[in-house]
Amino acid sequence: MPRPAQRPPQNWSRHAALAGQAFRFGVVGTAGFVVDTATLYLALWLGAGLYGGRVLSYLAAASGNWALNRAWTFRAARRPGGHAGAARQWALFLLVNLVGFAVNYGTYAALVASWPLAAAHPVLAVAAGSLAGMTGNFVLSRRFVFRGA
């Protein structure tokens, strides 16, 4: 006896929306990686050093990521009103993403300290750190910063 055609799960559209958000978050993260790397190399050129330069580059990338995620990835989320509300959301984004930053920066620092190739080409360590922190940042941002997305 032939099996009846299976219907897609009822939550399919919700899963598709979540997958779309995750994809957009990844695209934004890729843009953040470019900003992070460019800012790091600029900071190194200005003499900031591998560790201090990375703090500056992370802040630049995270700020850009917040703006892009707010405008594109989580555009359906409730938005706090006015300039003060946006500033609070940006600060919350940075605060919540400290978990991802700890993983990101820890991975970067471990690679720069232990792998001569990463110390010579910090972009490798930046990439590894970015990937390591991205999943946690997505979950935490969606839950705490861009609620209702």
Under DSSP, the state recorded for 145 is I
Examine residue 4 and state whether it is found in any structural domain, yes or no: no
What single-letter amino acid sits at 17? A
Does residue 62 fall inside a structural domain? yes
Q: Please tell me the total count of domains within the chain.
A: 1
| Tokens linked to 86 | 């946006």
Give 95-104 pLDDT, tens digit per residue: 988 888 898 8
Residue 80 backbone phi and psi in degrees, to 5:
-65, 145
pLDDT of residue 132: 87
The parts of the chain modelled with pLDDT lower than 70 are 1-10, 148-149
pLDDT digits (tens, 9 = 90+) for 33-49: 899 999 999 999 999 99
List the domain range (segments joined by +) for residue 34: 18-145
The tens digit of pLDDT for each residue in 82-97 reads 777 889 999 999 998 8
CB 70 within 8 A of CB 139: no
Among residues 84, 85, 125, which one has the least CA distance to residue 106? Answer: 125
Q: Which residues contact residue 129 at a Cβ distance below 8 angstroms, ignoring those fewer than 6 apart?
A: 103, 104, 105, 106, 107, 108, 111
Q: Is residue 1 part of a domain?
A: no
Q: What pLDDT score was predicted for residue 34?
A: 94
> Do the domain assignments include residue 125?
yes
